[in-house]
Amino acid sequence: MIAAIVFDLDGVLIDSEAVWDSIREQVTRERGGRWHERAQQEMMGMSSLEWSRYMHESLGVRMAPEEISALVVERIAERYRRALPLLPDAVETVRMLAQRWPLGLASSSNRPVIDLVLELTALGPCFRTSVSSEEVRRGKPAPDVYLEAARRLEVEPPRCAAVEDSTNGIRAASAAAMLVAAVPRPDFPPAPDAIEHADLVLDSLAELPPALERLA
């Protein structure tokens, strides 16, 4: 029986992958690095410690990893404050499910970005906890961020449903032994072998509440 729901953030509640992609590419080119077409895919799901190190070591950005992370987050925040790219039905779905289950958030975004999104959407009170992958040892596809969310919710992972969109996110939630509801993004589709780990595959967030109610 489902006792809690844990949402991913990027690609599930906000249409942010293209924003992160463009800003990381911008910083890479500005600071002497070498951007390539696989970079965004390879960084998806990484914690801030991991992707900033990747930009420094693999892309050749001439800044320390912590400086790269701070600069990218600063520019992400500026963009979100101008126009937050909310996905359809995100706010309504979260508010509806919060009336039925305790909710958590397990995100690869930096803590300041998570807090800013919750502030701008006024969804903070809907979530009992939120976890950034920079607060755990390993980013997705490792299960650490989902396991920590379950721990904070005081619910065993197999009694949690995770809502994901990406290859690494689906793998992380599955590795945490959670029920996985995948809502794939057509512009950043998960790998077919990752989709096989999903218990539900939905076309939109609007389908999530009735699907979870049927399972519950």
60-80 confidence digits (pLDDT tens)? 999 999 999 999 999 999 999
Residues 51 and 114 in one domain: no
Q: What is the pLDDT of residue 187?
A: 84
114-166 confidence digits (pLDDT tens)? 999 999 999 999 999 999 999 999 999 999 999 999 999 999 999 999 999 99
Residues 10 and 39 in one domain: no
End position of a domain, from candidates 82, 102, 121: 82
If DSSP states are collapsed to H, E and C, what string results for the chain?
CCCEEEECCECCCECCHHHHHHHHHHHHHHCCCCCCCCHHHHHCCCCHHHHHHHHHHCCCCCCCHHHHHHHHHHHHHHHHHHCCCECCCHHHHHHHHHCCCCEEEEECCCHHHHHHHHHHHCCHHHEEEEEEHHHCCCCCCCCHHHHHHHHHHCCCHHHEEEEECCHHHHHHHHHCCCEEEECCCCCCCCCHHHHCCCCEECCCHHHHHHHHHHHC
Residues 68 and 170 in one domain: no
Average pLDDT, the chain: 95
Looking at per-residue confidence, does 211 or 1 come out higher?
211
How many folded domains does the chain comprise? 2
End position of a domain, from candidates 66, 82, 98: 82
Residues 119 and 28 in one domain: no
Q: What is the pLDDT of residue 17?
A: 86
End position of a domain, from candidates 67, 82, 97: 82
Residues 11 and 116 in one domain: yes
Domain extent at residue 49:
17-82
The CATH code of the domain that includes 148 is 3.40.50.1000
Residue 41 above 90 pLDDT? no
